[in-house]
Chain A
Amino acid sequence: MIARHCGISDPAVHYHFRSKSDIYDALLVEPEYDSPAPEGAADRQAIAMFMEQRFWWWARDAEFVRLLLREQLHGRPESISYLVRSEQQYRAELEQAARGTFGEGARTVADLGWYLLAGALWDVILAYGSDAADIIQQDYFQVRVRRLIDTALDAGERCQP
Chain B
Amino acid sequence: MKAPSDDTHRPLAPNHRGRDETRARILRSALELFARDGFDDTTVKAIAARCGLTDAAIFYYFPSKRHLLDSLWHIPPGRNIRGLTPARLMTEDRLRELTDETLDFIADNHEVMRLMTSEALAGDKTASALQQESRAVWRRTIHAHFTAAFDEDIADSATDALHSLIHGFTMRALMEP
Whole-angstrom distance between the Cβ of B42 and the nearest chain A Cβ: 11
Whole-angstrom distance between the Cβ of B59 and the nearest chain A Cβ: 25
Within A84-139, the residues touching B (CB, 8 Å) are 87, 112, 114-120, 122-123, 125-127, 129
Name A70's closest neighbour in chain B (CB-CB). B121
A73 contacts B117, C-beta separation under 8 Å: yes
Residues of B close to A125: CB separation below 8 A: 121
Indicate whether A31 reaches chain B with its CB closer than 8 angstroms.
no
A144 to B158 Cα, complex, angstroms:
11
Indicate whether B36 reaches chain A with its CB closer than 8 angstroms.
yes
B168 contacts A118, C-beta separation under 8 Å: yes
Indicate whether A151 reaches chain B with its CB closer than 8 angstroms.
yes
Indicate whether B48 reaches chain A with its CB closer than 8 angstroms.
no
B175 contacts A83, C-beta separation under 8 Å: yes
Residues of B close to A126: CB separation below 8 A: 117, 120-121, 131
Name B169's closest neighbour in chain A (CB-CB). A115
Q: How many A-B residue pairs have CB under 8 A?
A: 80
Residues of A close to B38: CB separation below 8 A: 74
A118 contacts B121, C-beta separation under 8 Å: no
Q: Which of B10-18, B77-85, B159-167 contacts A (4 or more CB under 8 A)?
A: B159-167
Interface residues contributed by chain A, number (CB under 8 Å): 28
A61 to B18 Cα, complex, angstroms:
51
A70 to B118 Cα, complex, angstroms:
6
B168 contacts A147, C-beta separation under 8 Å: no
A6 to B135 Cα, complex, angstroms:
35
Indicate whether A80 reaches chain B with its CB closer than 8 angstroms.
yes
A143 to B165 Cα, complex, angstroms:
17
B175 contacts A147, C-beta separation under 8 Å: no
Residues of A close to B37: CB separation below 8 A: 74
B118 contacts A119, C-beta separation under 8 Å: no
Residues of A close to B123: CB separation below 8 A: 129
Within B151-177, the residues touching A (CB, 8 Å) are 157, 160-161, 163-169, 171-172, 174-175, 177
Residues of A close to B117: CB separation below 8 A: 73, 126
Indicate whether B57 reaches chain A with its CB closer than 8 angstroms.
no
Indicate whether B126 reaches chain A with its CB closer than 8 angstroms.
no
Indicate whether B29 reaches chain A with its CB closer than 8 angstroms.
no
Name B135's closest neighbour in chain A (CB-CB). A127
A70 contacts B122, C-beta separation under 8 Å: yes
B132 contacts A127, C-beta separation under 8 Å: yes
- State whether A119 and B171 are in contact (beta carbons under 8 Å apart), knowing that A112-B165, A151-B161 are contacts in the complex: yes
Indicate whether B128 reaches chain A with its CB closer than 8 angstroms.
yes
B131 contacts A119, C-beta separation under 8 Å: no
A118 contact from B132, B161, B172, Cβ within 8 A: B172
Sampled A-B contacts (6; CB under 8 Å): A69-B171, A73-B174, A74-B38, A119-B166, A123-B167, A144-B160
Residues of A at under 8 Å CB distance from B?
Answer: 66, 69-70, 72-75, 80, 83, 87, 112, 114-120, 122-123, 125-127, 129, 144, 147-148, 151
User: 5 extra interchain contacts, Cβ-Cβ under 8 A, other than A69-B171, A116-B164, A144-B160?
Assistant: A117-B164, A123-B164, A126-B121, A147-B157, A151-B157
